[in-house]
Amino acid sequence: MRTMRIPRSSMAGAIAGHDRENSGARQACQGAARTSVDPRPLLVILRVHPRAIPPTETDRAMRSADFAGKRVTVMGIGLFGGGVGVARFLAQLGARVTATDVKDAEALAESIARLDSLPITCHLGGHVEADFTDADLVVVNPAVPDASPYLAKARAAGVPLETEINLFFRLCPAKIVGVTGSNGKSTAASLAAHLLEAGPRRAWLGGNIGRSLLEDLDAIGPDDLVVLELSSFQLERLEWTGLSPAVSIVLGLRPNHLDRHGTMERYARAKQPILLHQREGDAALLNADCPVVSTWTGLGGGGKFLFSTRGPVARGAWLEGEQALWRDGGPPRPLFRRSDLALRGDHNVGNALAAAGAAVLCGVPADAIGPRMAAFRGLEHRLEFVRSLGGVAYYNDSKATTPEAAIAGVGAFDEPVVLIAGGYDKHLPFDEFGQAICRRAKAAVLIGATAGKIAEAIAAHGQMPTRQAGSDLAAAVSAARELAAPGDVVLLSPACASYDMFENYEQRGAIFKRLVRELEP
């Protein structure tokens, strides 16, 4: 255990989203007993209600009054600043902040540096019980499960629990557009924010995509629009607030995070707060092609719109041939053409339909969507082209952390694919993934804890060249190069989380790109 006192300075910086596979935050809860605790959280009631009033100086004073002098524990600093942004925000408001993490100062050096010169006490290398029982408020990193014994101690002591995203929902004066789903959240959220820039209102992007907007609250106005990527870990605790986004996008749902949620049913339930507390005048865009999400039209009080890549919908967006169309009570209006979309893969057409629908609902003219869509080039680690070498194209799809995402990645190419897959085991089924590999790939190189399971899934559906490279990504890249021929694609699309071998999917993707760029002709 190490205690550090970090002195005061001005506020800056941002919080990284928990679902960026922050192993520091996850390790904060390792060893937590699966005890039976009261699942009902204690609410923190703030006097500033979201979407209610502009961020005036009076509001800022009210925020300070809520937190000034209060003892606040931030549980889970994280290797990539998982708790840094909220710790900085609360310290600026005068709270007496203690940030705690099981990792030591050396492991958290980058995050600790971002807290430099602020009046924050850091308890590193383990948790102190008094930080949870004697606090006025505990802010929980989303990666920490409710069954953590430290949260149980806080509840038993009557200490309220809160999250960073909940604080933002309570304090944000602008309309929030929330995006969730098993795959495609980051792309759809980023594309929605990109399209909203074609309208008259200022757009902000944050949430689980890796940026908290707490630091920007003073700049966000009531006429602005805020797009938030929201994970199941964030949404299940958003229920504590009784709030939902004004516009909600729900992409497809497939089994994910079953190591946390246990069952698909519980995972789906964790997503539902994005709709449950919508009110009259709000709106939701639901994936008509998803057998789970398409049944949610009765949830919440907002208007419901659908989007589909398979055919027309009565109200919403769909693809008809090469043309994306929008209908809301009148004749269909063109949104964009399939050729406007620079992103690979049919799955990205659905993401584009959802983002375009949200933009129209927020006031962007339909005829402005196409030109803006054509300017969007995608995100890092999502089917990202790295280089061509010897007639072989190398792509980084490290963000594909589920079998469904990797199936979409492999299916995005007409060329023969040599696939690099495998990683941390989230207890997801690989049968469909094995079938897709046999159907769409020419060879597979498997890494990480799930290599054996994926190899079994491949063998159950056919025979193809398969190699296992253990925990050595460099060896996997070399093996893939040997298996590839001119005209082929080498694709890193792991179908798994990364933290058996890497800190997060970003580190995995960055190392893959470095290894590929270092290959010699």
Q: Cα–Cα distance between 446 and 449 in angstroms, integer? A: 9
Across 25-39, b (16+ Cβ under 10 Å) vs e yields bbbbbeebeeeebee
Q: What pLDDT does residue 132 have?
A: 98
| 73, 221: one domain | no
* Residues β-bridged to residue 207: 211, 229
| 249, 337: one domain | yes
| 180, 144: one domain | no
Query: Could you say which of 162, 192, 221 is where a domain stops?
Result: 162
Query: Could you say which of 107, 129, 162 is where a domain stops?
Result: 162
Q: Cα–Cα distance between 353 and 70 in angstroms, integer? A: 45
Can you state the percent helix, strand and coil of the chain, rounding each to 5? 35, 20, 45
Query: Which of 267, 274, 260 is CA-nearest to residue 229?
Result: 274
| 211, 238: one domain | yes
Q: Are 112 and 101 in contact (CB under 8 A)?
A: no
User: Which pair of tokens denotes residue 177?
Assistant: 């557009």
Query: Could you say which of 162, 191, 219 is where a domain stops?
Result: 162
Q: What pLDDT does residue 209 have?
A: 84
Q: What pLDDT does residue 171 have?
A: 92
| 291, 414: one domain | no
Kindly give the pairing relationship between strand 203-207 and strand 225-229. Answer: parallel
| CATH code assigned at 146 | 3.40.50.720
Strands (E), 369-516: 384-389, 392-396, 417-421, 441-446, 466-468, 489-492
Q: Cα–Cα distance between 447 and 449 in angstroms, integer? A: 7
| CATH code assigned at 419 | 3.90.190.20
| 154, 180: one domain | no
| 244, 210: one domain | yes
Angle at 255 between CA 498 and CA 279, to 5 degrees: 110
Which residues, other chains included, contact 149 with Cβ-Cβ below 8 Å and sequence gap of 6+? 32, 33, 35
Residue 413 lies in a domain: yes
Residue 231 lies in a domain: yes
Q: Cα–Cα distance between 433 and 423 in angstroms, integer? A: 14
Residue 83 lies in a domain: yes
DSSP reduced 3-state for 378: coil
Q: Are 280 and 302 in contact (CB under 8 A)?
A: yes
Query: Which of 19, 61, 308, 299 is CA-nearest to residue 180?
Result: 19
| 46, 91: one domain | yes
Residue 141 lies in a domain: yes
- Cα 124 off chain centre by: 26
Q: What pLDDT does residue 18 have?
A: 37
Amino acid of residue 472: D
| CATH code assigned at 237 | 3.40.1190.10
Q: Are 167 and 214 in contact (CB under 8 A)?
A: yes
Output 104-107 pairs: Cβ under 8 A, ≥24 positions apart. 104/2, 105/2, 105/4, 107/24, 107/79
Tell me the HSE value of 326 on the side-chain side, using a 13 A CA sphere.
25
| 135, 186: one domain | no
| 224, 304: one domain | yes
Residue 379 lies in a domain: no
| 389, 500: one domain | yes
Low-confidence ranges of the chain (pLDDT < 70): 1-64, 79-82
Q: Please give the residue range of the domain that contains residue 136.
A: 2-162
| 23, 147: one domain | yes
Residue 167 lies in a domain: no
Q: How many domains does the chain fold into?
A: 3
